[in-house]
Chain A
Amino acid sequence: MQMNRISLAGLSCLALILAACGGTDKADSKDKITVPKDPFPSTYAPYPNPSVFISNATIIDGTGALIENGSLLIENGKVSAIGKDLTAPGDAKVIDAAGRWVTPGIVDNHSHLGVYPSPGVSAHGDGNEISGPVTAEVWSEHGIWPQDPGFTRALAGGVTALQVLPGSANLFGGRGVTLKNVPSRTVQGMKFPGAPYTLKMACGENPKRVYGYGGGKYPGGTPYSRMGNVAGYRTAWIQAADYKRKWEKYEKEGGDAPMRDLELDTLKGVLDGDILVHMHCYRADEIAQVMDISKEFGYKVTSFHHAVEAYKIADKLAEYGACSSMWADWWGFKMEAYDGIKENIPMVHQAGACAIVHSDSDIGIQRLNQEAAKAWADGRKIGINIPEEEAWQWLSLNPAKSLGIDGKTGSLVPGKMADVVVWSGNPFSVYTKADQVFVDGALMYDRSDAANRPVMDFELGQPGEGDLK
């Protein structure tokens, strides 16, 4: 019925008032079917954020600069001023950070918090829709349990924003979502306002192991091999390109609206440039082939994740313009991780490519500063000398770029969100802890004040409730 009505409307449009078709102010256009871009809108708003003046700190500003004995003024949830010779406005709460360091909040662009939460019981395994190799129709936010205690541990580690991705079993795993790391009753209450959607894709061993070799445990069939992986990507992109053409034709000419397809909505979003591709890919040769696939279909991979062999093609990554989201030292758990080295991150950075430290772990996310410090020191040991303040870009600005939120967070530039961590000392030391963590200028974590340490529902009434974790 509905299709008929639209069809008639389209016909009448053609026959009667051709010039108005596709216009924006006519009744016809209101009847047009559109794909909603934000059906689960963020309800997050910054929490009360009285002005804060942090003084006498060693500040890493996130853009690559270090300010000794510096000050940072936070007003209305934004970075208001940063520098050496600032004076505190009368109404600002003053934090004397003598001996302490201040950095932008850490942004982790690879987390499964909420979708693989603690406790890791079978009822909570909502991170991977393994039912098929192409599940671009699923969205990680629909699997997130906001009561995951892991969010609070990450907050204590200075993480103020994170991308929650679906798992890597599928060629197309589904949409990822970027969150503010604030406790909330709902996922919508965590969603980073204005952050673009992302698409998780995966190379290599996982898809072919899960499907081809699933042994009946999962739906069998393709892909059985890396050849099948690539055929799977290309087949899906061909469908997406066709879907995109149909919608563009409909938007331009009217007529029958194409049947909506959740899977292709997401892929079309990539081809339209609205959705950023984050691709799990370990091996250098596969990364190089994925670059070509993206050129064939006219999209771009924003970041290659894990990228254990990024150091082998750091020059090509720089030329292509993709980030690499890496661990400091994970290796050896499967063949495509066999060539992992400790200097991957500094070598990628040195080649002029975008380097990111990511976690993919509810433990690792708690100390990403330490992971960066290890990589930084291992680079230094072989003569790659990167200032600490430059290396911090691996933790905040570069991941923010990869999520399309670098205009809003990731560095302490006036006007940006005051996502800020006050560290007990140099965050490149194992002994340093996050003392205070601000999200949009609101104090969301204070190590020395239990009232400012969140406790998730699950931990209420359980051993260790409210403990220092």
Chain B
Amino acid sequence: MSMRHIASLIAVAASLALPVLAAPVAIVGGNVWTGTSEGTIPSGIVVIDKGRVVSVSKAGSPVPMEATVIDASGKWVSPGFISAFSRTGIVEVDAEDATDDTSASGSDYSVALDAADGFNPDSTAVAVTRVEGVTRIVVAPEASSNLFAGQGFVADTSGDVDTEILRKAFLLISLGDHGAALAGGSRPAAWAQFRAALDDAGAYPARYFTSNDGTALGRVDAEALGPAARGEQLILIEAHKASDLNAIMDFAAANPDLKIAIVGADEGWRVAPRLARSGIPVIVDAFSNLPASFEQLGATAENASRMMEAGVTVAISHLGDSSHQARLAIQVAGNAVANGMSHDDAMKALTTAPAAIFGLQGLGVIGPGARADIVVWDGDPLEITSNPDVVIIDGDVQSLKTRQTELRDRYLKLDEHNRPLAYVKP
């Protein structure tokens, strides 16, 4: 058996150019959390080839002769995590407007704003997120001119400038306090705007033959709302308060063809059984446990676990700083475990749940045929003291170098006796 050592692979990972590995890769000996009915396989063997998982098997199973072997003994192996809600890659520095493509309060458009048009794979936050074991990011624009934020997308965190982007994966709208303010000042105004906009989408293109204006939306936005209005596109709704969640479920019941998910849902636990019956999934931040506003009075760190317990599909994200700190979704998930969720469910909240919500086929699991987004961890992935040792996206071993690691390495030794540190190039 030609077993090359992990060192060669690390060397590949460290180099700047990362070729697609021609040969299969076998990740051997790790505690493999599959996200499938196989559960967790101790000392498992994961074989990947041509960007896909070929096999997942128990210890002692044969490893292909030609495979490059990654020794994962004593380590954990998980699917690459999915940031279920983020702004990673569409803003470089929040306080510098020119680098911020999250929102456009001065735009004439809203529904049609496509966040993917602002995605920059070179954004330093993309690599910073990748090296924490997050291989896919769901990226949303931010509502600013009315309750419609616009079109969100899903990308990988490879940082490849020509990487494939799943555009228009969902439409984000804000209800609750935020949406009410944007729609004119009240929740009734927000709902009126939403319903009128759906009417406009339904009347498109006929009513726009003679005018660019609809009841709520202009021609371009009405057209952009079409897929969501026809139930072909997920509508992700930002809301927290129990009464707002009920209003969304009433709306969903009256419009059974629409695909709806909720982000935020801090009071979701109060209406969890109905959410479960409605089949409406939620994306939550399990850090949120303060009455930060009057729509979050019932917030508790047990929200995620209570909803999961009730049968709701729950994805966990870090909504606090979702551009640069989307990576903290993993810490949030660990805290969900500390507040009642099972470890397995918390892992699902970072993998299978977001994959299900956004229809990401073959992601969030390690199973035959799955896309090979895989992370090898130096410990339990949810533990805050753990870090990834190997990150693989679509079968390619990724660099673990970031602008941050270069800064770190430059300043590890503060010795400028001979030359300024600007000559230290990590």
Contacts and interface: CB of A to CB of B under 8 A. Distances in A.
B93 A363 contact: no
B331 A370 contact: yes
Contacts of A469: 289-290, 299-301
B412 A334 contact: no
B292 A118 contact: yes
B387 A331 contact: no
A341 B128 CA distance: 10
Interface in A324-381: 329-335, 338-343, 347, 351, 362-363, 366-367, 370, 373-374, 376-378, 380-381
A335 B338 CA distance: 35
Contact of A377 (B267, B323, B386): B386
Given A121-B293, A334-B95, A311 B324 contact: no
A465 to B, nearest CB: 9
A305 interface: no
Contacts of A378: 387
Contacts of A331: 128, 324, 404
- Interface range, A side: 35 or more
B297 interface: yes
B125 interface: yes
A319 to B, nearest CB: 11
B297 A373 contact: no
A430 B290 contact: no
A370 B328 CA distance: 12
Majority DSSP secondary structure for residues of B touching A: loop
Given A312-B411, A431-B334, A376 B291 contact: no
Contacts of B294: 119, 121
A205 interface: yes
Contact of B325 (A312, A330, A468): A330
Interface string A119-145: 111000000000000000000000000
A120 B385 contact: no
B86 interface: no
A104 interface: no
Nearest to A381: B387
Contacts of A313: 414
B133 to A, nearest CB: 13
B57 interface: no
B190 to A, nearest CB: 19
Contact of B94 (A119, A153, A334): A334
A463 interface: yes
A362 B299 CA distance: 14
A150 interface: yes
A385 B382 CA distance: 22
Interface string B369-402: 0000000001000111111000000000000000
Nearest to A371: B384
B414 A464 contact: no
Interface in B278-299: 287-294, 296-299
Contact of A119 (B289, B292, B386, B414): B292
Interface string B197-236: 0000000000000000000000000000000000000000
A320 interface: no
B320 interface: yes
Given A340-B404, A370-B384, A120 B293 contact: yes
Contact of A373 (B290, B300, B385): B385
B124 interface: yes
A228 to B, nearest CB: 18
Nearest to B416: A315
A311 B411 contact: yes
B323 A430 contact: no
A357 to B, nearest CB: 13
B383 A429 contact: yes
A429 B320 CA distance: 21
A366 B328 CA distance: 15
A1 interface: no
A381 B302 CA distance: 32
A428 interface: yes
Given A331-B324, A373-B384, A430-B384, A463 B94 contact: no
Nearest to B242: A463
Contacts of B407: 339, 341
Interface in A378-410: 378, 380-382
A60 to B, nearest CB: 16
B338 A333 contact: no
A347 B404 CA distance: 14
Of A118, A120, A314, A432, chain B has the most CB atoms within 10 Å of the CB of A118
B411 A430 contact: no
A464 B242 CA distance: 12
B108 interface: no
Contact of A462 (B288, B297, B325, B331): B297
A153 B385 CA distance: 23
A380 B379 CA distance: 13
B301 A377 contact: no
A459 interface: yes
Nearest to B384: A430
A467 interface: yes
Given A338-B93, A430-B382, A463-B242, A347 B291 contact: no
B338 A433 contact: yes
Contacts of A332: 92-94, 124-125, 323-324
Given A373-B385, A464-B297, A468-B300, A119 B291 contact: yes
Nearest to B289: A469
B270 interface: yes
Contacts of A376: 385
Of B270, B293, B404, chain A has the most CB atoms within 10 Å of the CB of B404
B290 A363 contact: yes
Contact of B300 (A367, A370, A467): A467
Interface in A137-159: 149-150, 153
9 contacts: A118-B291, A119-B291, A120-B292, A338-B93, A374-B385, A377-B387, A382-B408, A459-B297, A468-B300
Given A332-B94, A367-B335, A464-B299, 11 more contacts: A119-B294, A119-B296, A119-B297, A209-B95, A312-B414, A330-B325, A332-B93, A373-B385, A432-B338, A467-B300, A469-B301
List of 7 A-B pairs having minimum Cβ-Cβ separation, nearest first:
A430-B334, A463-B298, A377-B385, A464-B298, A334-B95, A332-B324, A118-B290
